[in-house]
Structure 1
Amino acid sequence: MAKTTASQPNKNRHLNRFYYPLDQAVEKPFNWRQMLRLLTYVKPYSRKLVPGAIIAMFISTLIRMAVPVIIGKVAIDVAIKHEDFNFLTYLVIGISILYLLSYLANTFRIKWVNILGQNVIYDLRKNLFSHVQHLSHNFFDKRSAGSILVRILNDVNSLQELFTNGIINLLMDVVMLLGIVVILFVLSPPLALAVMIILPLMFYISTKLRRNIRRSWQEVRIQKSRLNSHLNESMQGIRITQSFSQERENTEFFDGVNTDNYESERQATKKSAYFGPFVEMSNAIGTVILISYGAHLLILGEANGGIEIGTFVSFAFFLGMFWEPISRLGQIYNQLLVAMASSERIFEFLDEQPNVEEKADAKEVHDMQGHIEFDNVQFSYNEDRVALHEISLEMKPGQTVALVGHTGSGKSTIANLISRFYDPTAGVVRIDGMDIKDLKIDSLRSNISVVLQDTFIFSGTIMENIRFGRPEATDEEVHEAAKVVGADEFIKRLADGYQTEVEERGNILSAGERQLLSFARALLANPRILILDEATASIDTETEVKIQDALKKLLHGRTAIMIAHRLSTIREADNIIVLEHGKILEQGNHKELMEKRGEYFDLVKSQFQMLNAL
């Protein structure tokens, strides 16, 4: 009751907050083409592991089917009937040897299919992660980090059981089922028909359940995605939650999301569980038929169209074995449904193509000078939101250009287009006279460094973080870059200096220290174009004064684009471009714009008045 009650105040809110149009359960037939695509991940191991596993499976299956025949038709109807105990002893020894051989075959089969499954899961997760790494920013704009994590972790994990056991067990159970049916009809066609009379009804009911079960597992994947999204958001925003004393509200919100996840799991498991009891009921009916009709055939005797006691015993063995693979096939079918729900979501990501595509004949960038031109560039994030209106501007090599304007004026959009995180809706962006669409993306971005306001520090050492953009850099080069930007001083005060382990997102460092590390990282990469997006916003005034000289060294000889609200940081810029609603209002250096007494003058004046008021 507590679970339901707690979630009621947030019921509509949590459904809307984590609702993604791209994450919906849909009715689809079983996709065999998708299944075959999934099996292509087995192909690299088909020569080494698959043949051995199949041979081992056939050996163990044939032994399992041979033993009941030996016991019934040979041991009972021959050895025991004729009281040939020496022959019976040999049969017992032979059956023991067969069981030992079956044990060895099963051991190797389990070993090989587990190795196969682990390798397939490794490759699938590697391919998915690598593919996502190269998708455009537009892809990440539409999805939460949590929903992406669910697909790379949970959805791939859900395929593990299918690859380690499901596929080979499916083959084994089909072979066993067909083999048993053939043997039963050879032993006694009338009795075989009698015990299988329940099969048409069972297949009819299982077909009816199929679509419902598959949709339920799709819903489970979606709810897990929403749960993971909320967990990811909650952990990253824990400081804000605690600052506003919203722990209780956040817990209630989580309870609502968790309840939906719980309900989806419960419903899917319940529907999947229907198959097991039905198979048990079918087995019970088959056993009743065997006993009643089999007893009748026993009384008739083999001479009158009946059966011998050995045949009856073999039938009893095979009947128990008959429902076993059917029951497992139901479980494997459930695995297939889960796999289909997960693989649909995995292949959706793998089929996603970058909005920013690289041409087949794209060129490498050599000796970039950093001459940037925007020629009537227009850009829209979506149809309702035009971010840039036919912008034309020029940034000369080695020039420092500042972009200023109110929030949403298009400053960061210009920076994103230069790095080719997005492509213009219209117009051309050129670097050194070349359309950046004609350049290789990696080659272009290797000549550009970006320093953001909310800089990201990775788990690892200080040294590894500075070296991130240029992994081959020497320790001496890392130290020199840190000294130039003024980071060396605080790094040496840390317990382990450059080898200090920083936590996720660099939480052991202050905002200013993280920003200084990002400056060192950018400098070490030695870019021809440097983009500073509110890069000094998190640095206090005293620290800002310290790094002004460092910035001059950092910017020297490079084309630099500075985006700043704090106008004191851009006074020395060669060109200041004032933007408003995606249009250029005015441009020039600080002195020229102040003399114009236009929009820039008003921005400086209002900021100066604000500082005086403080």
Structure 2
Amino acid sequence: MNEEQNPTQLSGGRVMKRLLSYLNYFKKKVAIAFIVLLIATGADVLGPIIMKIFIDDYLTPRVFPVQPLVLLAVTFIGLYAISALFNYYQVISFQKIALNIIQIMRVEVFSKVQHLGLRFFDQTPGGSLVSRITNDTETIKDLYVTVLSTIVNSAIMMIGIFAGMFFLDARLALICFILMPFLFILMWVYRALSSKVYRVTRVKLSQLNAKLSESLQGMSMIQAMRQEKRLRQEFGKINSDHKKALLKSVRLNSLMLRSAVYSVYLIGLMMILSFFGIQSFDNVVKIGVLYAFINYLDRFFDPINQIMQQLTIFQQAMVSAERVFGLLDDDRMAPVKQGESNSEVKDGRIEFRDVTFSYDGKTDVLKHISFTANPGETVALVGHTGSGKSSIINLLMRFYSIEHGEIFIDGEPLTSFSDDELRKRVGLVLQDSFMFVGDVTDNIRLSHEHLTDQEVREAAQFVQADHFIEKLPNHYHEPVGERGATFSSGQRQLLSFARTIAQNPKILVLDEATASVDTETEEAIQTALSKMRKGRTTIAIAHRLSTIQDADQILVLHRGEIVERGTHQELLQKGGLYFNMYQLQHGKGAGEVSSAQ
């Protein structure tokens, strides 16, 4: 399952409520911005009334007293100056509030991702996560920047315009009021249709990012296997689907926005002109009132047009918010400590008791695993690909929750240890070591900021990584690019060993730690490992059986079960699966193996 197949669906009301809740962080600033907006809107509404007074009281009767006219002119100019100044201030204020909210939201989303379990990442494409954290939050920003302020501004403007209309002529105001239900129906229909279109658009954009991310990360393999054409076709198909979804939104906007609203505007204009035309048969029509009403009608439909146009952004923001909140509400969290006890790793004794585990809840990848690793011992895990070796390490590192059985460290349940204690006392070295952007020292030190430069160097010397580091142009300050691409796999592995030994763990977990290095480097690492294992419990996965011959206990796994256990010599004497694996790796017959013992 991934987010494209089963997106989290939230009601529009719940999504909007959560979006508005972020305004609580800036109550005072929002209140000031709204007050300024009210003043600016009031100044806009009063302008036509000033013009009506000028036309009916002075221009039509051709009376031009200087002082009243100067006062009207100053008032009119002053109102528009206030409107311009206060509108500028409220736009800036809403922009600042919006940027602050998006900053908070992005940190929340990023923090949530950091605490999601590996089960979530197994089921969710990385590119789609990038899309949610960047593209979707950027779309939500537009909601706060333009949509909310525009809708509030337009709503206040419409209320003010209605008040001005009722002040001029209540009958005309009621005629315009009749048009409101049609406009609300138009908005409701547009929102219902556009939500489906924009949801598809966001999903396709997420798939584009996922495909792009996958292609960039696997570029060397794509070029080596000549997969450029296939990837280009797959990307083109998703891009074409995204374009079709965008075209649907364009057609919908062209039909439902300005064209439909303008039709309602023409109906309103005809009703007002008809009213004044009929009234002119019996009474004198005041030109100022006619001007004011036509002006108000234009101003009334201008915010309607703005609201309708903002509905496009609003719908996109609602769909994006639904996806972001779906991520924030995801319950596939990384396992954490349970209970109040604060257990500590002291000796490093590990015990698995009847552990059974499944990634998908259907197929068991581990079945009734039980073993004990005493302090200072090395327990090696061997077996064919898919036998369950890495799953044992994943459970020991508490990357996944245990479903059946228990794991103990020093007699305490694994769930009783805090993350800090577990990560500090259990050192992990993977087959493909991950390097962070920075320099060599940063990658050895990582979060252990208390480590001095001297301690970093000692860790590198301990694992014999100092030999190649000292040959680098900038030594320990040599820049490290993304994923350490400028370093060889062996160099990255040595840095990973230095990183692990620098934290001085009680337990070592080695996942095929020498698989990616050359023979000379492997010998250096084996020497370092011999020193590292002293006084530490070590769990090691190995494909090269030669690297674990001195292990205190070797567990042979097959289809999720421990089928053999013992020392190297004991397992060879049994003549079972381990014996066969040893033969295959060394190319020896049974007689040769026996004599080699």
Report the counterpart of residue 275 of structure 2 in structure 1.
293
One-letter code of the match for 2:35?
I
Return the offset for 1:325: 1.1
Alignment of 1:127-526 (within 5 A): 127-273=108-254, 274-298=256-280, 300-301=282-283, 307-358=285-336, 361-526=339-504
One-letter code of the match for 1:363?
S
One-letter code of the match for 1:254?
F
User: For the Cα contact (< 8 Å) 2:445–2:499, is it kept in 1?
Assistant: yes
Name the SS of the counterpart of 2:78 in structure 1: helix
Residues of 1 paired with 2:418 and 2:553: CA distance? 29
Structure 1 residues 609, 486: CA separation in 2 closer, same or farther (over 3 Å shift)?
A: same
One-letter code of the match for 1:269?
V
Residues of 1 paired with 2:474 and 2:404: CA distance? 51
Structure 1: tracts of 5 or more residues without a match: 1-16
Render the CA deviation track for 1:104-147: whole Å, top value 9, x for unaligned: 21122112111100000000000011011001111111101011
Return the offset for 1:418: 0.6
Residues of 2 paired with 1:357 and 1:366: CA distance? 17
* CA RMSD, Structure 1 to Structure 2 (Å): 2.1
Alignment of 1:541-560 (within 5 A): 541-560=519-538
Report the counterpart of residue 114 of structure 1 in structure 2.
95
Residues of 1 paired with 2:3 and 2:143: CA distance? 29
Report the counterpart of residue 574 of structure 1 in structure 2.
552
Report the counterpart of residue 53 of structure 1 in structure 2.
33
- Tell me if 1:75 matches 2:54: yes
One-letter code of the match for 1:189?
A
Render the CA deviation track for 1:294-348: whole Å, top value 9, x for unaligned: 344355436xxxx421111111111111001111121233322212211111111
User: For the Cα contact (< 8 Å) 2:335–2:399, is it kept in 1?
Assistant: no
One-letter code of the match for 2:48?
P
Residues of 1 paired with 2:586 and 2:447: CA distance? 37
Residues of 2 paired with 1:22 and 1:520: CA distance? 42
One-letter code of the match for 2:420?
D
User: For the Cα contact (< 8 Å) 1:195–1:287, is it kept in 2?
Assistant: no
Structure 1 residues 567, 574: CA separation in 2 closer, same or farther (over 3 Å shift)?
A: same
Name the SS of the counterpart of 1:446 in structure 2: helix
Residues of 2 paired with 1:485 and 1:610: CA distance? 33
Name the SS of the counterpart of 2:354 in structure 1: strand
One-letter code of the match for 1:22?
N
Render the CA deviation track for 1:174-197: whole Å, top value 9, x for unaligned: 111122123213322333344455
Render the CA deviation track for 1:348-372: whole Å, top value 9, x for unaligned: 1111124544356343343532111
Residues of 1 paired with 2:70 and 2:512: CA distance? 88
Render the CA deviation track for 1:504-554: whole Å, top value 9, x for unaligned: 111111111111111111111222111111111000111111221111122
One-letter code of the match for 2:469?
I
User: For the Cα contact (< 8 Å) 2:142–2:313, is it kept in 1?
Assistant: yes
Residues of 1 paired with 2:92 and 2:153: CA distance? 16
| Structure 1 range deviating more: 217-226 or 587-596 | 587-596
| Structure 1 range deviating more: 534-543 or 96-105 | 96-105
User: For the Cα contact (< 8 Å) 1:374–1:393, is it kept in 2?
Assistant: yes
Residues of 2 paired with 1:362 and 1:232: CA distance? 41
Q: TM-score, normalised by structure 2?
A: 0.94
Return the offset for 1:220: 0.9
One-letter code of the match for 2:5?
P
User: For the Cα contact (< 8 Å) 1:577–1:588, is it kept in 2?
Assistant: yes
Name the SS of the counterpart of 1:378 in structure 2: strand
Residues of 2 paired with 1:505 and 1:449: CA distance? 20
Return the offset for 1:272: 3.0
Report the counterpart of residue 5 of structure 1 in structure 2.
none
Structure 1 residues 368, 280: CA separation in 2 closer, same or farther (over 3 Å shift)?
A: farther
Render the CA deviation track for 1:153-181: whole Å, top value 9, x for unaligned: 11111101111222122222111112212
Report the counterpart of residue 46 of structure 2 in structure 1.
66
Structure 1 residues 38, 368: CA separation in 2 closer, same or farther (over 3 Å shift)?
A: farther
User: For the Cα contact (< 8 Å) 2:154–2:307, is it kept in 1?
Assistant: yes
Name the SS of the counterpart of 2:433 in structure 1: coil
Name the SS of the counterpart of 1:398 in structure 2: coil
Structure 1 residues 493, 289: CA separation in 2 closer, same or farther (over 3 Å shift)?
A: same
Residues of 2 paired with 1:336 and 1:541: CA distance? 60
Return the offset for 1:205: 3.5
Return the offset for 1:251: 1.6
Residues of 2 paired with 1:585 and 1:18: CA distance? 35
Give the counterpart of 2:70 among 85, 89, 97.
Answer: 89
Render the CA deviation track for 1:48-79: whole Å, top value 9, x for unaligned: x111101110000000001111111x212223
Render the CA deviation track for 1:557-603: whole Å, top value 9, x for unaligned: 21111101111111121111111111111112212222222221211
User: For the Cα contact (< 8 Å) 2:115–2:334, is it kept in 1?
Assistant: no
Figure out how many residues of one structure are paired with residues of the other and give that number.
Answer: 587
User: For the Cα contact (< 8 Å) 1:61–1:176, is it kept in 2?
Assistant: yes
Residues of 2 paired with 1:225 and 1:391: CA distance? 40
One-letter code of the match for 2:65?
D
Return the offset for 1:383: 3.1
Residues of 1 paired with 2:471 and 2:297: CA distance? 77
Structure 1 residues 112, 192: CA separation in 2 closer, same or farther (over 3 Å shift)?
A: same
| Structure 1 range deviating more: 284-293 or 328-337 | 284-293
Residues of 1 paired with 2:473 and 2:58: CA distance? 83
| Structure 1 range deviating more: 365-374 or 140-149 | 365-374
User: For the Cα contact (< 8 Å) 2:132–2:323, is it kept in 1?
Assistant: yes
User: For the Cα contact (< 8 Å) 2:46–2:79, is it kept in 1?
Assistant: no
User: For the Cα contact (< 8 Å) 1:466–1:478, is it kept in 2?
Assistant: yes
One-letter code of the match for 2:23?
V
User: For the Cα contact (< 8 Å) 1:362–1:440, is it kept in 2?
Assistant: no
Residues of 2 paired with 1:546 and 1:571: CA distance? 17
User: For the Cα contact (< 8 Å) 1:531–1:560, is it kept in 2?
Assistant: yes
Return the offset for 1:442: 3.2
Structure 1 residues 605, 569: CA separation in 2 closer, same or farther (over 3 Å shift)?
A: same
Report the counterpart of residue 11 of structure 1 in structure 2.
none
Give the counterpart of 2:5 among 9, 17, 21.
Answer: 21
Q: Percent identity?
A: 37
Structure 1 residues 37, 427: CA separation in 2 closer, same or farther (over 3 Å shift)?
A: same
User: For the Cα contact (< 8 Å) 1:365–1:444, is it kept in 2?
Assistant: no
Alignment of 1:525-604 (within 5 A): 525-604=503-582
| Structure 1 range deviating more: 176-185 or 565-574 | 176-185
Render the CA deviation track for 1:194-221: whole Å, top value 9, x for unaligned: 4455443343333223211001111111
